[in-house]
Structure formats: C-alpha cells, structure tokens
Amino acid sequence: MIDDVIRLREEVAMQIKALNGLKQMAASYGFDISRPAANAREAVQWLYFGYLGAVKTQNGAAMSVGRVSTFLDIYIDRDLKAGVITEDQAQELIDHLVMKLRMVKFARIPSYNELFTGDPVWATLEVGGMGQDGRSMVTKSDYRFLHTLVNMGPSPEPNLTVLYSKRLPENFKRFAAWISVKTSSIQYENDDVMRPVWGDDYSICCCVSATQTGKEMQFFGARANLAKCLTYAVSGGVDSKTREQCGPAYRPVEGDVLTYEEFMPRFMDMMEWLAAVYVKTLNLIHYMHDKYFYEAAEMALIDTDVRRTFATGIAGFSHVVDSISAIKYAKVNIIRDETGFPLEFETEGEFPRYGNDDERADEIAVWLLKTFMAMIKKHHTYRNSEPTTSILTITSNVVYGMFTSNMPDGRKAGTPLAPGANPSYGAEKNGLLASLNSVAKLPYEYALDGISNTQTINPDALGHDDEERANTLVNVMDGYFSQGAHHLNVNVFGVDKLKDAMEHPEKPEYANFTIRVSGYAVKFIDLTREQQLDVIARQAHERL
C-alpha cells in the first residue's frame, strides 16, 4: 500500500462520486444517462451532458470537447438510413450542440482577462484527419460542424480545428478553406506529423496540443518569457523596470559592444536558471491544484491509468532568435543610463531575420527550441509526467511585452512580443511563403505541445473571388504542411477592416467579427485596445 496506490484509490472514489453526480444532473433535465444512447438525438444529448458536467465542476481555462464528429456520425447515419431523421434535422442537432458550446461562460478574475482576453473557453473540436490504414476519417458530420459557421455565423467557440493532410478529400479541403476565407474562424493542424506520435484516435486539448483521446491528460504550464531571459543575461539578472535582482547575480556584460562570444555563455546560464525555476513553479501549481481542486468529473470519463504530459512553453521566441542573429552577424552597441545600466541597444549593419527562409536565422530558431527543451527535461516533473513544450502565447504576448525591456533586434520596451512562433513584427520581407518556410523548419518532435503560427492574408493576395481564394489557400497549406509544419491560423481580411472595427465597434457587421489569434479565436471587438493595436501591427501579407 504505497503512496501512489493510496492516491489512486482516493481519486477513483472521487471519480465514482462525480459519475453519480453526473447521472443526477442529467436526471434533473429528465434524462437517464445510465443507459446507452438509443439514437442520434440522445447521442448528442449524452455527449453534451458529459461536457456540461465537466464545465460545471471546474473553472478550467481550457475545456476542450475533442474529436467527436465520427462518433456522432455513426448514430446520425443509422437514423438517416432508418428514416428516423432528415438531413435538415441532422444538421440541426449539430447546430444545437455548437450553440450550447458557444454559451459556456466562466467567472474570470481581472488578471486572467488581461492575459486571455475575449473570455475564451477553448472548447476545441476537431474534424478531418486520416486513419492509420490510409483511409480518410472525414464524415458528413465533419461537414456539418464546419457548416455551423454558415448557419449561425462566425464565432470563437467551439475552437474548430481541421486535422489537415494533403491526402484528405479535395472537396473537404476546399470547403474548409472556403469557410476560412469567409469567416477566419478555423485553425489547421498537421495530421501527418501528429498521427505517428499519437495514433489516429487523438484529440486537441487546450489550443493546439494533441493527446490520445481518453488515455492521457496534460498538466498545462503556460510559458516562459525567453525574451526577458535574454535581457537578464545582459544585465546580470537585474530587472530593467524595478531594478531589483530578480535573476541570479551573474556577472553582467560590462563593455559597450555586445559580442556573441561574451553573450552566449551568459544567456545559456540564464536559460538554465529559468528552466529550473519554471519547472519547480509548475510542480507546485499542479500539486496544489490536484490537492484542493481535483477534476473528478472530467477524469471519471477517461481511463483510470493515464499517461501524463507536463506542458511548458516559450514566449518571445522570434525576438530572441533575431537578437542572437543581430549579436552574431551585426554590431550591437549597448546604450547605458547614468548608472551604467544597459537600457537600450543600437544595432549597426544588417542581420538575417527569422521569417524570410534564411537558413542563418532559421538555424538559430531550431537551436533555441532544442536547447530550451533539453534544459526543461533535466528536471523532475510532477507525477513523473513527460515534459513537452510549445511555442504559443495566446494574447498574453501583449502583457509579456509590457514587462520586457529593449532588445537587440530593435524591439522597444513595453511593446508586444510577436505571438507564438510568428516572426517578429516587420521582419517578414519575402512574402507569406518564405515566412511559412521558416516556421516549418521547427521540428515538431521537440515541441509536442504545439507550434502556433498565425497569418493574416489580404483577400486579393489569394485571388479575385472566394472560390479562387479557397483553391489558392489549399495549395498554400498543402505545401506548408508537407514540409512538416505543425499549425496554421488563417485570417483573410485587410488591415483597413481591423482599423474600422476598432474605431466603430457599434457597427452591426462587427458584432461577430471573429479573428484567429495564437491558439484560439476571439471576437475582435472584445479585445482590449492594446491587443487590437497589436493585431493591427502584425504583418498582413499582400503577396504570396
């Protein structure tokens, strides 16, 4: 009777109690979910009760639905063949489920909303994908879920995700792309890189993270600000805003020129320190969460013995890459204040920037990801969970930027960090395809929690009408994902529309104006003004 066995018994007891509570909840609505669902309507209803029980019993940041279209399609197809329902009624069932998912609300504290604005639920729901045997897993219900964006208009929830493969049926790819062109509400993830790791029965939890359905759970870990870590390497761990010794008191850079040979050992030491503090902090959080707020209802619906992953993340990725590139390939002068503190940087000469398909910068990006992941793996993780990482920021890139000082790549203090794995603002000089090529070089096996890439494309860059734009977008994604890229958020609109929506949010056309940001979708008018300006400042590609 060791600790792990005692803990498991206690957790299973809580899960059994939660299942009884779930049954009582459904009974209060007049349903007996202790018996199997007999038809499509009951299958949808039973599924929703499971989700409802989970969201009622925890105030989770991300409450994902999973990959349910194929499961529900079995019931719907059977009822259609039996003449029990019509196609219109089948679509209505899916519409109603999506409607309920759109209605989920949580009580959020103000600091939460600063990081994750727009009240996201991350009711992530997947369609598409291929089977291990080479067959497409696309069903009519995959189309039905996408069609809800036509029937009910665009919406951030559920977080609709297409598991993309070049081998998917062409009609399905074109339909999904057409929906993206019309609504900017879908994200795409590469089924061909996830399937070998997770099998063909996986779901997306939270934003972009794959997990075997019903067999795994993830300890979510937000992200570490590597951009700020870089500035600490120069200042010797002293924070530029507070002038407090926040990091270890390593020797700061003392000269007036920041050389590659002097900087890199300091940066490596500071990253090692950050990785250790990061993992220890997450261990404390997850231990206390399980102790005081165990998620019994949700855990009751998956296997008893689960695989656990320990998710971490990186913020400020592209700024660190470009800053290292500037230090290596140009001359970076340190501008100090009257106390000698390194307050600003002045870079002389040209240097390669990540996002232009330039191997000199892109190899730094690959090195940074691999190096930080290796540092994370050195440390013990809660419940012996498997460490993973992501390059994903949500909308927290704005808040992280507020507390990050000037950087050698030219980014100014207090300005937003570039989101996710996106290149730095203004860095992309060679068009959309070159930018995609750079991001595609990041190896998924070192970031199994996801590599988020959000792109905004002017409609005219894709074609003259929506059909041509959809076909062009399919070609772009076929090429991008065939290189091993993991993720793509697609926005199809111009900057002028964003500016008008910011200045005139009262216009009816902007009430449901949905955009993709790093990891989720949000109504643009629900963002703070700082976040709206951040979105406007991002690269909107006028050409491929």
Percent of the chain with pLDDT over 90: 87
Note whether 23 and 33 are within 8 A (CB).
yes
Helix (H, G, I), strand (E, B) or coil at 400: helix
Which residue in the block uniquely carries the two structure tokens 């792109």?
455
Among 92-96, 375-379, 533-537, name the one with the lowest average pLDDT. Answer: 533-537
Tens digit of each residue's pLDDT (9 = 90 or more) over 36-49: 999 999 999 999 99
Identity at 201, one-letter amino acid code? D
Mean pLDDT of 78-100: 98
Residue 418 has pLDDT above 80, yes or no: yes
Tens digit of each residue's pLDDT (9 = 90 or more) over 3-26: 889 999 999 999 999 999 999 999
Residue 317 has pLDDT above 80, yes or no: yes
Handedness of CA 431, 433, 436, 440 (dihedral sign): negative
Please report whether residue 100 resides in a domain: no
Please report whether residue 214 resides in a domain: no
Mean pLDDT of 74-82: 98
Distances (CA, A) of 276 to 279, 282, 321, 503: 5, 10, 21, 44
Please report whether residue 329 resides in a domain: yes
For the chain, the domain total comes to 2
Active site residue 207: yes
Tokens (6 digits) for 481: 């994902």
Return d(Cα 372, Cα 446) in angstroms, integer: 10
Mean pLDDT of 163-176: 98
Mean pLDDT of 262-281: 98
Q: Indicate which residue of 205, 206, 229, 246 is catalytic.
A: 206
Please report whether residue 96 resides in a domain: no
Crossing angle between the packed helical segments 226-235 and 317-329, to the nearest 10 degrees: 40
Tens digit of each residue's pLDDT (9 = 90 or more) over 200-213: 999 999 899 999 99
Mean pLDDT of 345-364: 98
Identity at 334, one-letter amino acid code? I
* Residue 113 pLDDT class (50, 70, 90 cuts): confident
Please report whether residue 174 resides in a domain: no
Mean pLDDT of 110-118: 80
* Residue 542 pLDDT class (50, 70, 90 cuts): confident
Please report whether residue 43 resides in a domain: no
> Which of 402, 418, 451 is a domain's end point?
451
The confidence score (pLDDT) of residue 484 equals 98
Mean pLDDT of 235-244: 94
Range of the domain at 269: 224-451
Distances (CA, A) of 460 to 56, 181, 542: 45, 11, 7
CA of residue 136 relative to chain centroid, distance: 25
The confidence score (pLDDT) of residue 61 equals 75
Q: CB count, 10 Å around CB of 37? A: 16
Q: Which of 395, 421, 454 is nearest to 122 (CA)?
A: 395
The confidence score (pLDDT) of residue 268 equals 98
Tokens (6 digits) for 366: 């690959």
* Residue 54 pLDDT class (50, 70, 90 cuts): very high
Helix (H, G, I), strand (E, B) or coil at 48: helix
Please report whether residue 487 resides in a domain: no
Element containing residue 307 per DSSP (H, E)? strand 307-311
The confidence score (pLDDT) of residue 519 equals 77
Return d(Cα 421, Cα 83) in angstroms, integer: 49
Helix (H, G, I), strand (E, B) or coil at 340: coil
Percent of the chain with pLDDT over 70: 100
> Which of 416, 451, 486 is a domain's end point?
451
Please report whether residue 315 resides in a domain: yes
Note whether 454 and 207 are within 8 A (CB).
no
Distances (CA, A) of 266 to 236, 253, 303, 328, 360: 8, 9, 45, 15, 22
